[in-house]
Structure 1
Amino acid sequence: MKTMNKLSAASFMVMAALFLSGCNDKNENTTVTTNATDKCNVESINGKTDAIVYVKRGTVEINGWAFDDAKHAVAQDLQIYLVGAQGKSLTAKDPEKIQRPDVAKVYNNKELTNSGFKFTVDTSSFVPGAYGITLKMLEGNTQSVCQSKKSLVIM
């Protein structure tokens, strides 16, 4: 039960951070449209496919696939967010692109062949605990947010 409370808190923190991420100190009239999507999957963390993956602090590899559902194309600007119950967060950008012909086949769209990703994240400064994983695809003033079903627990 304690783990579920931490995971719920982590999920809440992730969503709050995502909605606030468009804020800055400039006085601009910028509207950012946020859409939820399910066109992503974090398949493994350090090679493990469990729903909750336990790792030591240090370098963590997060692999999976994602694509822009509105355009039916590979996301050009893909980012990953790790947010813990204590509010500590990390944003990683520019993942290594991985070919995923299986995703292209399932969605019957050859444009999705390069929808795979590998993020290499340094978690050495993170405090031990559970972290939610969210993918964000940016395109102009639109962001598509995809909540992963996996959680990362740093020991």
Structure 2
Amino acid sequence: MIISIGNDHAGPDYKKAIVEFLENLGHTVVNHGTDTFDSVDYPDFGHPVAYDVQTKKADFGIVICGSGNGIAMTANKHQDVRCALCWTVEIAELARQHNDANVISIPARYTSIPQAVAMVQAFLETPFEGGRHANRVKKIACR
């Protein structure tokens, strides 16, 4: 699987742990994030991830910022991107099962690194249920 990841200054340590986890599983990771703690603007890192998912250059995306909100809002500006802000494993699973989310947003200031890795694992391993949820997901897009 190809997974695109991006983060601002709140998430270099999170990204490093997540990338290591994903690469150990054999996934290819495209890194659009910063590696420093110097203040940067999260849209500069969220848009490239969302573009990768939108254009199918990546199967899934992971975005990380302090609250997870700003970078999720950025990603959701792209057509066919459904970015879910997650702070527990259960929410990550539901985002996939019910919403067919294809990007997970992680709030670095409100989750631990092990929790973030567990959410990513759950997100990637959980299939979309389809069924009654499919029609709802179709209604998300503005076309």
Q: Going by fraction, where is strand more abundant, 1 or 2?
A: 1
Is TM > 0.5 for Structure 1 vs Structure 2?
no
The structure with the larger Rg is 1
TM-score (norm 2): 0.27
TM-score (norm 1): 0.26
